[in-house]
Amino acid sequence: MLWGNLWRGLVVSLIFFVLLGLAYPLAGSGIGQALFHDKAGGSLGEHGSVLVGQQWNGTKWFQGRPDGDDPTATGGSNLGPRSQELVKTYQKRVAALEKQGIKPTADLVTASGSGIDPNVSPAGPYAQVDAVAKARHLPADRVHDLVADHVEGPQWGFLGAEHVNVLKLNEALAELD
């Protein structure tokens, strides 16, 4: 009797392992790849995922939101509005932007809640137009138009605000060369 119950328990466990541990995840992945191939594959662009913020070095590129000191960490810093460390960090970021001839905007100074947001408000890239145009020896109007072409509206027309995906913008900027 004991071995019979043990055997039935093992068979049921094996069945559920195959169904829920193998068949269900494979079916979900297969349907995702078939119907939403781009998103299921990580929404990759030429230089990385358009869903994850990237760091771009130098004034030849548009800068997105700053990440923290640790690029592998996601999430906020947990520093409150009275934190002197946070104030000093913001002051350093503002000074660095002003040194490059860029008017600081909130998106260029503050990190996102996730720490990896690839989108900024249009004000961030527009503030960088002159610096990027100068560094690339391009007319400022052409760079301004490039930014305007990459302003995306709210999702489904009403969720969120206008934004610019910095990775897509920089990939388009690279094509101008």
For residue range 80-98, what is the model confidence (pLDDT) as tens digits? 888 899 899 899 999 999 9
Looking at the structure, do residues 102 and 52 belong to the same domain, yes or no? yes
Looking at the structure, do residues 135 and 94 belong to the same domain, yes or no? yes
Looking at the structure, do residues 27 and 94 belong to the same domain, yes or no? no
Domain range for 32 is: 2-40
Give which of 149, 148, 150, 145 is closest to 167, Cα–Cα: 150
Looking at the structure, do residues 68 and 6 belong to the same domain, yes or no? no
Looking at the structure, do residues 21 and 74 belong to the same domain, yes or no? no
Give which of 53, 41, 72, 42 is closest to 164, Cα–Cα: 53
Looking at the structure, do residues 73 and 101 belong to the same domain, yes or no? yes
Query: Could you tell me if 117 and 74 are in contact, meaning their C-beta atoms sit under 8 angstroms apart?
Result: no
Query: Residue 140's pLDDT is what?
Result: 93
Looking at the structure, do residues 65 and 30 belong to the same domain, yes or no? no
Looking at the structure, do residues 16 and 54 belong to the same domain, yes or no? no
Query: Residue 74's pLDDT is what?
Result: 63
Looking at the structure, do residues 49 and 32 belong to the same domain, yes or no? no
Query: Residue 40's pLDDT is what?
Result: 72
CA distance 101 to 169: 20
Q: Which residues of the chain fall below pLDDT 70?
A: 1, 42-51, 53, 67-76, 115
| Count, residues in the chain | 177
Query: Residue 49's pLDDT is what?
Result: 67
Query: Residue 1's pLDDT is what?
Result: 67
Looking at the structure, do residues 35 and 50 belong to the same domain, yes or no? no
Looking at the structure, do residues 54 and 139 belong to the same domain, yes or no? yes
- For the record, the structure tokens of 98 come out as 């002003």
160: left (phi > 0), else alpha (psi -120 to 50), else beta? left
Query: Residue 26's pLDDT is what?
Result: 93
Looking at the structure, do residues 134 and 83 belong to the same domain, yes or no? yes
Number of domains in the chain: 2
Query: Residue 62's pLDDT is what?
Result: 92
